[in-house]
Amino acid sequence: MSTPTVLPASAVARLVPPAVPGEGARAVGWFLRPALVRAAVYLVPVPLAVAAAEPLGRVPWPVPAGALAAGWCAVSVAAYLGQLVARSGGTVRAARLVLAGFAGLAAGWSAALALVPGSLAGADRALAYAVSLPVLAVLAALAVALATGAGAALLRWWVPALLVAGAALTGVLPVPVEPLLLAGIGLALARASTTALRRAGPVKLPRLRGGGARLVFALSQAAVVVVVWRVGHAAVPPGGVPAAMVPLLLAVPLVEVWVAWHLARVAAGLVRYDDRDRYLRYARRIGWSTLTALLPPLVAGAALAGTATRLPYGLSAHPDAPAVVLAMAGGVLLAGVVAVGWLLAARSRRWLAAAVTGAPALTTLALSVTVPIRTATSLDGWSQPLPAIVIALAVTYAVGLVLVAYVLFDARSLP
């Protein structure tokens, strides 16, 4: 049977199980359950961060943002390399590789915190360590789960920390929440580390490549999320979730399931069709369905941005309602741009995904400096680039749709 696919052979081997999935619930569960587990693992840090908003707010924002960006880049690279090692040498060596990488990152981060000026690390260096190192610990546990396929098991060990976060958010916890959160994080990291303590036999390391593209893609994601977060941060009360981040958090499970569905349908077509023309027609149908799912965020984001300065008086109880609506528009567009990047990366176009995802951060800076954009908000400081980031996200989103269409429909990329 010929293999008329735009996916590499390694991706096809990973997607197609030993037995072809049947129709119905089993076929849906083939990609749905793992995708939902990954989405849940990605979202675990969110309630922990909200519960720890008070200590996070007492350090300069580059400390948690820098730790999160560095940790996310490490997750992308270490989880990928760990998966390669796990296929040839087992999960024990994969967990060791991931934990060793994060141990090096934690040591480098600690040294950097000791050297940076107080304007970046804050006056209380001990608090900066106490805030940022747990962030790296959370992401280390996440990376081990992704590398070893133990996401569902690790989620059970996150339950104590999540219960503490929930109790803190509802106000029913009569004791300080920080020590309990640290204990919960330590428990989950200890569970993730137990895999690395088991005995491992000899292993032939696979050829490690592709880490550079994943690193750049992760860095572009971190950059655009941090920029949008800082732009919309002033529009919310202290300790609240920025309006621009709400759509992204809601979209993470949807995007994960949507990308998994697309890859599963492509893999199913490879198994089902041995005729190239029939496969091409099938691939076009899947392409149109995939592309159609990317249109609503663009329309919704543009509509929110267009109505930001035209809110009725009754809906403007917030002291700066246009900023909130414009930040929401940026969040919706950000979720769409991230979805475009994830799809391109899943189709092995990681350098293109990095360019699309990171473009809004660079474009915002260029627009803020070169184009006299008239702001629709009354906020100070970071509110000035708010219209710029929305414009940059919308333009990048539209360009990303064209690139996605090219990847999905270009017959010349098929063998």
Looking at the domain assignment, is residue 11 inside a domain? yes
What's residue 57's pLDDT?
Answer: 81
> Is 240 in the same domain as 142?
no
> Is 125 in the same domain as 82?
yes
Q: Give the number of C-alpha atoms closer than 13 A to the C-alpha of residue 380, restricted to the C-beta side.
A: 0
> Is 191 in the same domain as 243?
no
> Is 213 in the same domain as 179?
no
Looking at the domain assignment, is residue 29 inside a domain? no
As a whole number, mean pLDDT of residues 124-146 equals: 91
Looking at the domain assignment, is residue 28 inside a domain? no
The percent of the chain in helix, strand and coil, each rounded to the nearest 5, is 75, 0, 25
Looking at the domain assignment, is residue 87 inside a domain? yes
What's the whole-model pTM score? 0.82
Domain count, the chain: 2
What's residue 19's pLDDT?
Answer: 39
Helix ranges (DSSP H) in 293-320: 295-307
Instruction: Work out the mean pLDDT of the chain and round it to a whole number.
Output: 79
Looking at the domain assignment, is residue 117 inside a domain? yes
CA 68 to chain centre: 11
Parent domain of 351: 1-15+209-415
For residues 169 and 186, what is the distance between their CA atoms, to the nearest angstrom? 20
> Is 59 in the same domain as 150?
yes
> Is 215 in the same domain as 315?
yes
Q: Do residues 311 and 376 make contact, with C-beta atoms less than 8 angstroms apart?
A: no
Tell me the two tokens of residue 348: 């092995």
> Is 125 in the same domain as 215?
no
For residues 125 and 270, what is the distance between their CA atoms, to the nearest angstrom? 55
pLDDT > 60? residue 80: yes
- Residue range 148-206, pLDDT digits in tens: 888 888 888 898 888 888 888 787 777 778 888 889 899 888 888 887 666 655 555 55
> Is 273 in the same domain as 369?
yes
pLDDT > 60? residue 247: yes
Q: Which amino acid is at 53?
A: A
> Is 259 in the same domain as 397?
yes
Looking at the domain assignment, is residue 335 inside a domain? yes
> Is 195 in the same domain as 337?
no
**Final residue belonging to a domain, choices 152, 174, 199:** 199
Give the SS3 label for residue 407: helix
